Amino acid sequence: MIDANTHFDLISELGQRTRIALKELKPIAFKLGLKHHKASNWTFRGCIPQIYEILERATSKSEAKDTIAKLEGQLNGLRNWDNVERLLEEEYPNKGYEKIPEFEEKKRNAKQFFDFIKTLENGGTLIGIAQRVGMENPRNQVSYILRGSVPYLVRTAIQISKVEQFQSLIYKTELETPTVRGVEVTSFKQLENTINNSFPSFSDREDFSILMDDARTYFEILAKYQNVGYVLSQDITKIATKRKLTKPTVKRWICEGGHPKLISMLERALTQEESEIELSRLYKELNGVTTAEEMDVRLQNYYLLEELEFIPTFEKQRKLAEDFFSFIDVLSNGGLISDFVSTSNVSKSRITRYLKHGQIAGLVNLATWIPSESPAEGKTWLPLLIENGGIGLPRKFIEVPTTISSSQEILDMLEQVTPIDNHGTEAHEKEFGKMAQHIALMYLLGVALSDGKFHNDRYSSTSVELKASKKYSWNTDFGEGFCYALSRIGIEAEYKGEGETKQKNGTTVKFNQWASISSPLLIWMRRTLLGLEHHEIKNESSIRAEWIKHMPEEWKVAFLQGVADGDGHASLKSQTIGLTSKANHRILTEILNSLGINSSCYDSCHVSIHQKESILQSNDVYLFRYAKGRKDRLKSLTELLNATRYGTRNTEYETALIQGYNDRGLSSGEIAESLWLEHRIARRVGSIRAFLRKREQKAESS
């Protein structure tokens, strides 16, 4: 109202003016106590105080009277909630109306409706009135009321009141004899026999006695009124009151051909015979896994159980499996799906999938594929193939040892694996010769320890990849040899293209990449043969593979070849052979020593072979397989060592060469390498170092 008075004062100040400058308006606004922007909006933009807009939308008393008349015209005399409640009590005796779904909310809506009509008598905005009476969504609810809609309970009471006006209304009876699975049930006794013979589980329901009382009443009404053609409305009311039923229920039975709840439940339920058929089908699919105990036995014989336990949903899957067996236990006596839900804790959707779609719980399904026969002592069942994701479905089982104590255990495993033969393997064998399966396996273990890398593609399977630097001309032979070795143990692998990575020093290394398919056999190799758990990284965790030290020589050599092709070197400069391994230098040293190759470790990650006899032995056992450059350097190094003369003085020519190289800034190792490669002069690095030291001392003394 303050804005309205000020608005009138402004109009008075402006008088009959048709034009006014902004600077002239400012003092007038100040005089009236108006903010400049509001005075400007009223004067130049045609804005008005909000009170005018409210009054424009408001309903006057006369308009409200007309609206109320229209609303009350459809209420059939109802004026308040008490009128509604009286009629509901007549239709639903003993406060049965309170069982109407969401009754309290519907009651609140009805009371607010009558409060709205009463408050409307004084006029005002309809939305404002709706807000004052507590409507939660005033705009929508006012819209419904103006369209002639009334709350549910009010509408129900209106219908009841209209029926009361015609108490003598006559209804035609439509009583029908119910059927259960196509068989007519003409008496309560016959219904009892049907339940006992075909649906015995129904007697275990908590509401069974209530359902039976309801059915007994129905058959009594059926016997009395089935052959009566018509019934009065007041008779329906009397029957409902006497039988303690609602009028709609009695009317549905007598006039609409309805049946008691128990009949419809039996129609939907599985009979005992039908349940036994379903149970027989499930047993066939379960392949002997009919209890949680049997499932656990199969899983304990499953090599990949440890990997499955890492799945985040594993405990949930186990609970679903246990509930599935509970469902099987209660299925045999038949019943409703809702009964199975309450007694087995299995959801309705899952039971529907079990019964209608032939599915079974995931962990149970997995167990059905695991062989029922117990594996040999110390061995478990390993699938060579996993279908689907997550838990997956295992196929093609073999027996694998969980620990290695002899080479025969590995040979027994390899007999169960079929090598892959194709054009690529034939070409490789033609160039490099055929590789025995056990040699291929040991070589792969060595590659996995060096440049190879396991990838946990899935919990129940893994793949392995190899990245070989393109700076080595023989990197392609190495990659193809890696793929060939995998094919010898039945695992497909292929070239995946080029890539590059940036090292810590900022240099970029380009590489070629090869990778295998995902296979459970690779999990066995990682965990049992190398001793690396699911979460361990081979560059940071030492392998637990002491068994390798006790294998035949060719097995150990193949393993070392895999390591050396990836992380080995042969140097003419240092006249040593070396293997780099941050976490596994100890076991590599022990394996080399077991072959008569003396080695030592330095810098906590380098295994070094520097004695002449050990270097010659390394060459004899063929330490490198596909690393041709390293193999050639090892051969050259052995030739150098064999040609080295001990206890002889350097000739003047040799001395001049050594002094010349030294003057050019070459180290002792670089001088030894240059002497051999350029002049075929064999000298040990230590001898050259001693010679140069004497020369330096002589120069200092002079």
For 165-205, write each residue's pLDDT tens digit: 544 467 788 888 899 988 999 999 999 999 999 998 888 88
**Distance (Å) of CA 469 to CA 290, 539, 623:** 54, 18, 20
Please, are residues 231 and 252 in contact by the beta-carbon 8 Å criterion? no
φ and ψ at 386, to 5 degrees? -125, 125
Section 314-330 average pLDDT: 90
Count, in order, helices (H) and strands (E) of the chain: 34, 14
Strand partners, 302: 381
Please, are residues 615 and 636 in contact by the beta-carbon 8 Å criterion? no
> Is 2 a residue whose pLDDT tops 60?
no
> Is 538 a residue whose pLDDT tops 70?
no
Most confident of 214-228, 381-395, 530-544: 214-228
Q: How confident is the model at residue 302 (pLDDT cuts 50, 70, 90)?
A: very high
Section 586-592 average pLDDT: 91
Q: Which of 37-51, 516-530, 616-630, 676-690 has the lowest mean pLDDT?
A: 37-51
Q: What is the pLDDT at residue 229?
A: 79
Q: What is the pLDDT at residue 291?
A: 92
**668-679 and 628-643 helices cross at what angle (nearest 10)?**
90
> Is 655 a residue whose pLDDT tops 50?
yes
**Max CA distance (Å), the chain:** 145
Q: What is the pLDDT at residue 167?
A: 47
**103-119 and 61-73 helices cross at what angle (nearest 10)?**
140
Q: Which residue has the tokens 């043969």?
A: 529
How far is residue 582's CA from residue 603's CA, in Å, rounded to a whole number? 9
Q: What is the pLDDT at residue 190?
A: 93
**pTM, to two decimals:** 0.68
Give 504: exposed, middle or buried? Use CB within 10 Å, 0-12, 13-18, 19+.
Answer: exposed
Section 391-403 average pLDDT: 90
Section 551-565 average pLDDT: 94
Q: What is the pLDDT at residue 425?
A: 87
> Is 503 a residue whose pLDDT tops 60?
yes
Neighbours of 120 (CB within 10 A): 22
